[in-house]
Amino acid sequence: MKVYGKLVRDKIPQIIAADGKKANTRTLADKQYLKELIKKLGEEAKELEANPSIEELADIKELVIAIREALGAHAGELEDIRRKKAAERGRFKQKIFLESVEG
């Protein structure tokens, strides 16, 4: 038996069963689910860092959508907040790397 102890996509138990194995799973409570989504986001960010690709980025987007839904926000609300922050603080297009601040 191999122990994973992590959040997985919805169809993973079916994929495991199709391979002739048995997946032991449980359904998380809302608070734990949000915690595990955020943990998974960190894992996926590390994978993107190790392998910058559109596939890894798609995994992150799927997690962002799930986190938004777990927080009870709709897509338009997230986009409105993103636009407001972009207008107030800018985006990341100019590739500015802050070295230090004096004074």
pLDDT tens-digit profile, the chain (103 residues): 999 999 999 999 999 999 999 999 999 999 999 999 999 999 999 999 999 999 999 999 999 999 999 999 999 999 999 999 999 999 999 999 999 999 9
How far is 83 from 58, CA to CA, in rounded Å? 21
How far is 30 from 48, CA to CA, in rounded Å? 27
Which whole-number Å values give the CA distances from 61 to 14, 19, 26, 54, in the listed order?
Answer: 23, 28, 24, 10
Cα separation of the two ends of the chain: 58
- Say if residues 83 and 64 touch (Cβ distance below 8 Å): no
pLDDT at 75: 95
pLDDT at 79: 97
Residue 5: half-sphere exposure toward Cβ, Cα within 13 Å: 1
pTM attached to this predicted model:
0.91
